[in-house]
Amino acid sequence: MAADWVIDSDLCNRLGRVGDQIRVEKLDGEKHVTLKFEGRRESIMDPDKLIEFKGGYQLTLTEIFDVFSRKYYEVGNLEVFSEGITNWNTFQLGHWDESLQDYVMIDVIQDGWWNQLPHFETITKMEAEERYGIELPPDQWVVSAHATRGLINLSYEQTHAFVQVAMPTEENTYKIYDFGKYGLFFPKNFLDVMKLFTQTMPAVVMYPDDNVYYLQRQHGYYPMIMTPEQGQEIMAKLRNEIMNSFAGQRVYQIETDNCARWTYELFISVLGEGSLPNLYKMSLIDCEPGGPIQVIFGLIKKLPNQFHSYVLTRLHYFLGAWRGIWIRKSTGHVWRSVSNHEFFDTGEVYLPALVIHKSLKGLFAIEDANLHNQTTWWLICKKVFHRAALLPKSIGVILSEMAHSLHVYMQSKILIQICLDRDQWAQRDQILKNHWVFCGNKMCGKMTTI
């Protein structure tokens, strides 16, 4: 019965992601299934059992499981952390106080304001290097563009981007903080989903980002090593975003002001323009949707290239592209909608799934080399030797891997470089179709389209 409640309430992913949450224990000579609630263990065999959280917040087990069963539609006042199920609203950044009948939020004005957040995860240096795929210098922060996708393509469905901050500790571990931008309202039915394409709504900063629990999705990272000063600056920028969202000065729109654009602009505000490769930006027409939308995209692609963006953006009028909201700015109120956004002129979007796609294709290695004026050969040597240090190999095997990698990478660089110019997609596809890749003295076949 207890297992059914956990499964039906969609708690499985959350409990599995955090770990050490559910146990079978003997209490008073009987076996009980127990869960952690704010650091203490409680039996979950009786659905009417009352659990008290901080702030005097009381719920029965049935009510607790019901909160998690509705997570796709509303955030609720409970979340799973290392200390167990906790009284915490991820939008309000605080807990519910029963006597006040209001939320008690953290004080973001304080120095080190993030220390007031519930603890989600701490990982070792080895775990961090395995997660991010890079060698971590001592005392340096790691700030990552973290993306997820539920479909293994460039679809705009079931994909999300957020910021993951790995903060070094004195114990040579890293405390993990995940922040994401969301719209204030979640779609509850098919009509809401259709409206979402053009709906502009107030934005909030969520902690922890809900996607950290989505084990059913593919996860990918673009990690950036930052100095402690840069890390502190990122946290200061996040504080400003939190305060501005509470003040009604931030909006969310799935195709214009979405989660991916927010993360990219956050990084650029600290690292500077030109410091990062293109993580998310691409033409909407190059996305890979399914169903009827795929047919519409296919028909638009039959038109001359110069009409693609215009036709696709104007079709948004049928979904209500003129709808928007007023937001407060220092200069006064500003109207924000899809139809008065630069997207309506360019047809370009920030797609979270692109981070995973480019990472798996090895495109970031080429773009990073160009940005930092480094050769591909230098990156290959660094990558191969780092892997050899983790898994000892003979010099002969290492040299053989380097030679093979250099051969493939140098051929790929010529082709991938074309992709960096968004105006040459058609030329890129034609070159790739006609290019053959050789492995040693054998012809392996045509290189697949990137």
Does 2 have pLDDT greater than 90? no
The predicted pLDDT at position 431 comes to: 43
H or E element: which one contains 124? strand 121-124
Peptide bond into 223 cis (omega under 30): no
Does 407 have pLDDT greater than 90? no
The predicted pLDDT at position 428 comes to: 46
Q: For the residues 380-397, what does the mean pLDDT come to?
A: 54
The predicted pLDDT at position 369 comes to: 54
pLDDT-based confidence at residue 401 (cuts at 50, 70, 90): low
**More confidently predicted of 329 and 442:** 329
pLDDT-based confidence at residue 406 (cuts at 50, 70, 90): low
Least confident among 203-207, 208-212, 416-420:
416-420
Does 170 have pLDDT greater than 70? yes
pLDDT-based confidence at residue 30 (cuts at 50, 70, 90): confident
| Displacement of CA 260 from its chain's centroid (Å) | 8
% of the chain exceeding 70 in pLDDT: 79
Q: For the residues 360-387, what does the mean pLDDT come to?
A: 59
Does 445 have pLDDT greater than 70? no
Maximum average pLDDT range among 220-224, 289-293, 372-376, 386-390: 220-224
Q: Measured between alpha carbons, how far is residue 54 from residues 34, 88, 97, 209 in Å?
A: 19, 10, 8, 22
320: phi > 0 → left, psi -120 to 50 → alpha, else beta; which?
left
Least confident among 142-156, 185-199, 370-384:
370-384
Does 438 have pLDDT greater than 60? no
Give the integer Cα–Cα distance in Å for 146 and 132: 10
- Strand ranges in 233-275 using DSSP code E only, listed in sequence order: 251-252
Does 31 have pLDDT greater than 60? yes
Maximum average pLDDT range among 262-271, 352-361, 435-444: 262-271
Q: For the residues 64-77, what does the mean pLDDT come to?
A: 92
Give burial (CB, 10 Å; 0-12/13-18/19+) of 110: exposed
* Three-class secondary structure of residue 318 per DSSP: helix
Does 155 have pLDDT greater than 90? yes
Burial 70-106 (b: 16+ CB within 10 A, else e): ebeeebbbbbbbbbbbbbbbbbbbbbbeeeeeebeeb
Which one-letter DSSP state was computed for residue 93? T
Does 273 have pLDDT greater than 70? yes
Does 241 have pLDDT greater than 70? yes
Q: For the residues 61-88, what does the mean pLDDT come to?
A: 94
Maximum average pLDDT range among 152-166, 313-327, 404-418: 152-166
pLDDT tens-digit readout, 321-361? 989 998 887 777 889 999 999 999 999 999 999 999 998 88
Maximum average pLDDT range among 222-226, 328-332, 416-420: 222-226
CB 186 within 8 A of CB 74: yes
Q: For the residues 162-166, what does the mean pLDDT come to?
A: 98
The predicted pLDDT at position 114 comes to: 97
Q: Is the alpha carbon torsion for 181, 187, 191, 193 positive or negative?
A: positive
pTM of the model: 0.81
Give the integer Cα–Cα distance in Å for 355 and 351: 8
pLDDT-based confidence at residue 424 (cuts at 50, 70, 90): very low
Does 436 have pLDDT greater than 50? no
The predicted pLDDT at position 82 comes to: 94
pLDDT tens-digit readout, 76-118? 999 999 999 999 999 999 999 999 999 999 999 999 999 999 9
Enumerate the domain spans of the chain.
Answer: 2-105, 119-351, 362-446
Which residues are CB-neighbours of 243 under 8 A, at least 6 positions away?
108
pLDDT-based confidence at residue 205 (cuts at 50, 70, 90): very high
pLDDT tens-digit readout, 278-294? 999 999 999 999 888 89
The predicted pLDDT at position 330 comes to: 73
The predicted pLDDT at position 40 comes to: 94
Does 377 have pLDDT greater than 90? no
Please give the mean pLDDT across all residues of the chain. 84
The predicted pLDDT at position 177 comes to: 98
The predicted pLDDT at position 425 comes to: 47
pLDDT-based confidence at residue 441 (cuts at 50, 70, 90): very low
